[in-house]
Amino acid sequence: MSAQPSLTLQRRLDAAPAKVFRAWTEAAQFVKWMHPTGAEVIRAEVDARVDGRFAVGFRKPDGQQLEIYGQYRDVVPDAKLVFTWTWRSSPEQESLVTVLLRPDGDGTLLTLTHEQFINEEARDLHQSGWSYGLDALERYLA
């Protein structure tokens, strides 16, 4: 059996790890940058603690509404988040996201790994979405 597809993206952000961590874990900040491929965040709930949950509702430019939810498996303030990632429309396709934050001079090196995709098409769609989202995070933190 072959391994399930995964992706890894890295960004250097001009913000301290604590600031980047808050952008991921405070709903009021999360909604300001998490806009995959132009979608509008219409609802965000974030309880960033081990066994805490999150849910994010999006409205795409064509009006379609989508929701992602998950549960935090590991939370290390200013350094690491590990959480499940599930689309409401396909709950059987749970995947796993790890966000690592490492100090890099006066900024942060962010490494995002998303694994356990059902197929390469799902991975490729998420790679595009995460790239767009990380671009927005970079602009938000600038």
Could you read off the pLDDT of 22-46 as tens digits, one per residue? 999 999 999 899 877 778 889 999 9
* 50 has a pLDDT exceeding 90: yes
pTM of the model: 0.94
Asked whether residue 112 is assigned to any structural domain, the reply reads yes
pLDDT average, residue stretch 93-119:
97
Asked whether residue 67 is assigned to any structural domain, the reply reads yes
Asked whether residue 1 is assigned to any structural domain, the reply reads no
* 51 has a pLDDT exceeding 80: yes
Host domain of residue 82: 7-141
Number of helices (H), then strands (E), in the chain: 3, 7
What pLDDT shows up at residue 39? 83
What pLDDT shows up at residue 36? 72
| Amino acid identity, position 129 | G
Q: What stretches of the chain adopt beta strand conformation (E)?
A: 7-13, 40-46, 53-59, 65-76, 80-87, 95-104, 107-115
Which segment of 31-40, 92-101, 131-140 scores lowest on mean pLDDT?
Answer: 31-40
Asked whether residue 87 is assigned to any structural domain, the reply reads yes
Task: Name which of 85, 106, 83, 82 is nearest 19 in CA terms.
Answer: 106
Asked whether residue 20 is assigned to any structural domain, the reply reads yes
Asked whether residue 111 is assigned to any structural domain, the reply reads yes
Asked whether residue 14 is assigned to any structural domain, the reply reads yes
- CATH number of domain containing 47: 3.30.530.20
Asked whether residue 2 is assigned to any structural domain, the reply reads no
Mention every residue, 6+ apart, whose C-beta is less than 8 A from residue 63: none
What the block records as the tokens of 96 is: 């796993």
Give me the number of domains the chain comprises. 1
